[in-house]
Amino acid sequence: MNPVYKHGDFVLAFHWQNRQYRLGDVVLLRHPKFGMLIKRISQLREDHVLLEGDNADSSISPARIGWQPEDRILGKVSLNLSNVPKRIKQPQQQNRVTVADNKNVPIK
Among the listed ranges 18-22, 30-34, 46-50, which one has the minimum average pLDDT value? 18-22
Domain 1-83 top-level CATH class: mainly beta
Could you give the CA distance from residue 30 to residue 33 in angstroms, rounded to a whole number?
Answer: 9
| pLDDT, tens digit, 9 for 90 and up, residues 37-94 | 999 999 999 889 999 998 888 889 999 999 999 999 999 998 888 776 665 555 555 4
**What residue ranges do the domains of the chain occupy?**
1-83
The structure's pTM equals 0.71
**Letter string b/e over residues 35-73, b meaning 16 or more CB atoms within 10 A of that residue's CB:** eebbbbbeebeeeebbbbbeeeeebeebeebeebebeeb
